Amino acid sequence: MTSIQSLEFKDGKLYLIDQRKLPEKLSMFECKEYKDVEFAIKDMIVRGAPAIGVAGAYGIVLAAKKFLDLPKEKFLEKIKESAAIVGNARPTAVNLMWAVRRMMNVLEVNRDRANSEIYEILLDEAKNIEKEDLETNKAIARYGNEIVPEGATILTHCNAGALATTGYGTALGVIREAHYMGKNIRVFADETRPRLQGAKLTAWELVQEKIPAKLIPDSVAAVLIRDGKIDVIIVGADRIALNGDTANKIGTFMLSQMAKDFKVPFYIAAPISTIDFDIKSGKEIVIEERAATEVTHINGVRIAPEGIDVYNPAFDVTPNENITGIITEKGIMRPPYLENLSKLKERH
Ligand SMILES: CSC[C@H]1O[C@H](OP(=O)(O)O)[C@H](O)[C@@H]1O
């Protein structure tokens, strides 16, 4: 059973697996204050929607610690300023702002308490968010296995594993669970250019646990789907609109279109905290654009000529009509998504 834990809050600091250095090196990045957390999210030391949400929550705890000795009003003001900085570190994954808002609600409710009490209450809330995430992933894994047949070949994209969450994973959690249930599954993992989360992170998780898998260049997926080699596709998500349109790592939309054309089931695995109940369609989702060097370089080595322009959107939006189902901790959501996802609001 996996024991990969992407982060840990200990002795008043947040420790993150430095995912930029995997698979060659397993090392921890230490966050002493909220600005370290902002940097870690921006530079993808920690990445993956649920993981950056939990990291963001602990960033606010670190802010409370930093400003503890200020007069009350200044203390509250500085925490709110820090929360805005951490919450805006990356725009697409809704979990970051969801976690920040949840922490701010707790701050507001307890604003009249002593600063030291507020610090402890915020720390407890961040720990709750972390604990709930792991429980959520286990529930997603159980429900997800309703759609994984014995002996299935599963295609996944990017990393929606233990490293993208506080543990176990979402899409990769379903795959893990199927493996541990003895379903004799095998995996094709897209390398996922340009940041190579599949090659560096998903492959690492699969190898750690000896889950039968093959790493493929992204462009191989279409041939496997066309040739009937894939039984089901399961990917993660960064933001889900109420109509089911889903933002996920760039390349997901292309997979979903191939799946639709060749009638391969295509599932999103995500916690309810990844649903944005304030937007009705994927058109409203902000897609993060990242640095050109992510495309022109690999591990710091230039592979494209100086002077070439680059377009590097980190995500794309899969239209709801391409999605067979959305696996959540409350069950598998099916179309009509607007009706069915809206019902989840009160359960969240
Ligand atoms: C379990 S959410 C994982 C989700 O996040 C990844 O994006 P990034 O690596 O840029 O944080 C990717 O979209 C995954 O599906």
Whole-number pLDDT of residue 346: 73
Is the complex ipTM higher than 0.90?
Answer: yes
Question: 69 C-alpha vs ligand 1 centroid, how far in Å?
Answer: 37
Looking at the fold, whether 280 and 177 belong to one and the same domain comes out as yes
Looking at the fold, whether 169 and 128 belong to one and the same domain comes out as no
Looking at the fold, whether 69 and 147 belong to one and the same domain comes out as no
For residues 130-158, give the mean pLDDT: 98
Task: Give pLDDT tens digits for 90-128.
Answer: 999 999 999 999 999 999 999 999 999 999 999 999 999
Task: Please state the residue numbers annotated as binding site.
Answer: 47-49, 90, 197, 248-249
Residues 6 or more apart in contact with residue 50 via CB below 8 angstroms: 95, 133, 136, 137, 164, 165, 166, 170, 271, 273, 274
**What is the DSSP code string of 143-167?**
HHTTS--TT-EEEE-S--SGGGSSS
Residue 2 domain-assigned? no
Looking at the fold, whether 148 and 121 belong to one and the same domain comes out as no
Q: Is residue 284's pLDDT more than 60? A: yes
Looking at the fold, whether 238 and 337 belong to one and the same domain comes out as yes
CB 260 within 8 A of CB 224: no
Whole-number pLDDT of residue 3: 75
Residue 21 domain-assigned? yes
Looking at the fold, whether 132 and 263 belong to one and the same domain comes out as no
Question: pLDDT band at residue 1, thresholds of 50, 70 and 90?
Answer: low
CB 93 within 8 A of CB 248: no
What is the bridge-based pairing of β-strands 301-302 and 297-298?
Answer: antiparallel
Distance CA 235, CA 98 (A): 21
Looking at the fold, whether 160 and 240 belong to one and the same domain comes out as yes
Residue 319 domain-assigned? yes
What is the chain's mean pLDDT, rounded?
A: 97
Residue 321 domain-assigned? yes
- Atom 15, ligand 1: residue with shortest CA distance: 236
Q: Of 122, 138, 154, which residue constitutes the final position of a domain?
A: 138
Looking at the fold, whether 291 and 310 belong to one and the same domain comes out as yes
Looking at the fold, whether 223 and 107 belong to one and the same domain comes out as no
Q: How many CB atoms lie within 10 A of CB 158?
A: 30
The CATH number that applies at residue 174 is 3.40.50.10470
The CATH number that applies at residue 50 is 1.20.120.420
Nearest-CA neighbor of 243 among 327, 347, 98, 341?
Answer: 341
Residue 215 domain-assigned? yes
Whole-number pLDDT of residue 229: 98
Looking at the fold, whether 214 and 147 belong to one and the same domain comes out as yes
Distance CA 321, CA 227 (A): 22
Q: Which residues line ligand 1 (CB under 6 A)?
A: 47-50, 158, 160, 164-165, 170, 197, 235-236, 238, 248-249, 314
Q: Of 138, 163, 184, which residue constitutes the final position of a domain?
A: 138
Burial class (CB in 10 A: 0-12, 13-18, 19+), 105: exposed
Residue 1 domain-assigned? no
Residue 210 domain-assigned? yes
Q: Of 81, 103, 138, which residue constitutes the final position of a domain?
A: 138
Both tokens of 222, joined, read: 């279409």
Q: Is residue 347's pLDDT more than 90? A: no
Looking at the fold, whether 148 and 132 belong to one and the same domain comes out as no
Distance CA 245, CA 312 (A): 21
For residues 191-197, give the mean pLDDT: 98
Looking at the fold, whether 75 and 161 belong to one and the same domain comes out as no
Residue 39 domain-assigned? yes
Distance CA 348, CA 278 (A): 14
Question: pLDDT band at residue 2, thresholds of 50, 70 and 90?
Answer: low
Q: How many CB atoms lie within 10 A of CB 191?
A: 22
Best mutation site among 92, 95, 134, 248 for ligand 1 pocket (most ligand atoms within 8 Å of CB): 248
Task: Give pLDDT tens digits for 195-235.
Answer: 999 999 999 999 999 999 999 999 999 999 999 999 999 99
Catalytic residue among 133, 190, 218, 238: 238
Whole-number pLDDT of residue 327: 98
Whole-number pLDDT of residue 313: 98
Task: Look at the chain and report how many structural domains it folds into.
Answer: 2
Distance CA 44, CA 22 (A): 12
Whole-number pLDDT of residue 336: 97
- Rg (C-alpha) for the chain, rounded Å, is 20
- Atom 5, ligand 1: residue with shortest CA distance: 48
Boundaries of domain holding 312:
141-347
For residues 264-275, give the mean pLDDT: 98
Q: Is residue 31's pLDDT more than 60? A: yes
Task: Give pLDDT tens digits for 147-185.
Answer: 999 999 999 999 999 999 999 999 999 999 999 999 999
Pick the atom of ligand 1 nearest to 274's CA: 2
Known catalytic membership, residue 238: yes
Whole-number pLDDT of residue 348: 65
